[in-house]
């Protein structure tokens, strides 16, 4: 636990790494940052040998273990011993350490289970900044890549689910913001484009609906040599009839 009179530590992984106490950023080296990230992305403690092998896979085990001990010592010095829970066998973050990724990951569950949660406007405002960011952007590490890919898919699915929910509430501006964020994360994905077009049609923004579809069709043809599915054109056809 944090010492009396001090605030808990916060670890941010979205979009980049920051360790801070309230508004004071703690200056940490590259090794310390990677160690914290590995622990923050893991539920429960990590065995010392597993952590050392993950962080230094190309180094002989004795040297990796020595690097781990040195990194732990420096990290405890920098954080006054308030970040880690260490035993002879394993290492974990203390329970009172706040990690933004863990909060977002608990919230960004598979799409099918979240259709109704967008009704909580306070939750949306509090977590919007987390959902629109990739995980540890710019970090290119073999052990990290599966976490990054999993988070990318989950956040896109959640953005889509929220956009669909706000679509049902007629909140056009929020729908576009969410759908555009999902489309920016995966430009070739059709779901966010379909939601945005549908919202534009509901808001009688006919020209914008057609413009968005045209841009998406051009992108797919240039990148993949294919056309979108018939779902969006079917939505647009009645608007052409009305215009005529």
* Residue span of the structural domain in which 187 resides: 109-243
Mean pLDDT on 182-208: 96
Antiparallel, parallel or unpaired: β 84-86 and 98-99: unpaired
Q: Is pLDDT at 123 greater than 80 in this prediction? A: no
> Which tens digits make up the pLDDT trace of 11-69?
999 999 999 998 899 999 999 999 999 999 998 899 999 999 999 999 999 999 999 99
Based on the fold, state whether residues 163 and 61 are members of the same structural domain: no
As beta bridge partners, residue 10 has 20, 98
Phi, psi of 51 (to 5 degrees): -65, -45
Give domain status of residue 51, yes or no.
yes
Residue 20 is predicted with a pLDDT of: 96
Residue 124 lies in a domain: yes
User: Residue 210 — left, alpha, or beta (φ > 0 → left; ψ -120 to 50 → alpha)?
Assistant: alpha
**pTM of the predicted protein model:** 0.85
pLDDT score for 129: 78
Report, as an integer, the average pLDDT of 221-238. Answer: 93
Q: Are residues 46 and 79 in the same domain?
A: yes
Q: With 80 as the cut, is the pLDDT of residue 207 above it? A: yes
Residue with tokens 């990230």: 37
Tokens of 52: 């050392």
58 lies in the same domain as 78 = yes
Per-residue confidence band for 106, with pLDDT thresholds at 50, 70 and 90: confident
Residues 87 and 115 in one domain: no
Please tell me whether residues 50 and 140 are part of one structural domain.
Answer: no
Among candidate residues 139, 103, 144, 141, the one with its CA nearest the CA of residue 12: 103
Tell me phi and psi for residue 90, to 5 degrees.
-140, 170
Is the predicted pLDDT of residue 78 greater than 50, yes or no?
Answer: yes
CATH number for the domain harbouring residue 138: 1.25.40
141-192 per-position pLDDT tens digit: 999 999 999 999 999 999 998 899 899 999 999 999 999 999 999 999 999 9
Instruction: Give, to the nearest 10 degrees, the angle between helix 172-185 and helix 145-168.
Output: 160
> Where does residue 173 rank: exposed (0-12), middle (13-18), buried (19+ CB within 10 A)?
exposed
The total number of structural domains that make up the chain: 2
Distance CA 172, CA 193 (A): 14
Give percent above pLDDT 70 in the chain: 88
Q: Is residue 2 part of a domain?
A: no
Strands 84-86 and 24-25: unpaired
| Helices (runs of H) and strands (runs of E) counted in the chain | 10, 7
CATH number at residue 64: 1.10.10.10
The verdict on 122 and 235 lying in the same domain is: yes
């Amino acid at each position: 636990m944090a010492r009396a009179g001090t605030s808990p530590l916060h670890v941010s992984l979205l979009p980049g790494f920051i360790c801070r106490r309230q508004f004071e950023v703690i200056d940490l080296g590259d090794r310390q940052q990677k160690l914290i990230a590995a622990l923050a992305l893991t539920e429960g403690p990590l065995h010392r040998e597993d952590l050392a092998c993950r962080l230094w896979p190309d180094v002989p085990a004795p040297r990796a273990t020595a690097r781990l001990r040195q990194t732990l010592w420096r990290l405890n010095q920098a954080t006054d011993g308030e970040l880690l829970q260490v035993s002879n066998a394993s290492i974990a973050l203390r329970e009172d350490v706040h990690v933004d990724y863990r909060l977002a990951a608990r919230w960004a569950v598979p799409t099918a289970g979240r259709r109704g949660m967008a009704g909580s406007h306070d939750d949306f405002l509090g977590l919007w900044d987390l959902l629109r960011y990739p995980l540890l952007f710019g970090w290119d590490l073999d052990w990290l890549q599966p976490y990054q890919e999993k988070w990318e898919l989950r956040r896109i699915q959640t953005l889509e689910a929220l956009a669909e929910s706000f679509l049902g509430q007629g909140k056009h501006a929020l729908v576009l913001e969410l759908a555009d964020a999902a489309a920016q994360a995966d430009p070739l994905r059709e779901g966010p484009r379909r939601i945005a077009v549908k919202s534009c049609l509901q808001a009688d923004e006919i020209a914008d609906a057609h413009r968005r579809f045209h841009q998406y069709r051009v992108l797919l043809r240039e990148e993949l040599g294919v056309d979108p599915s018939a779902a969006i054109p079917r939505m647009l056809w009645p608007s052409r009839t009305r215009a005529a």
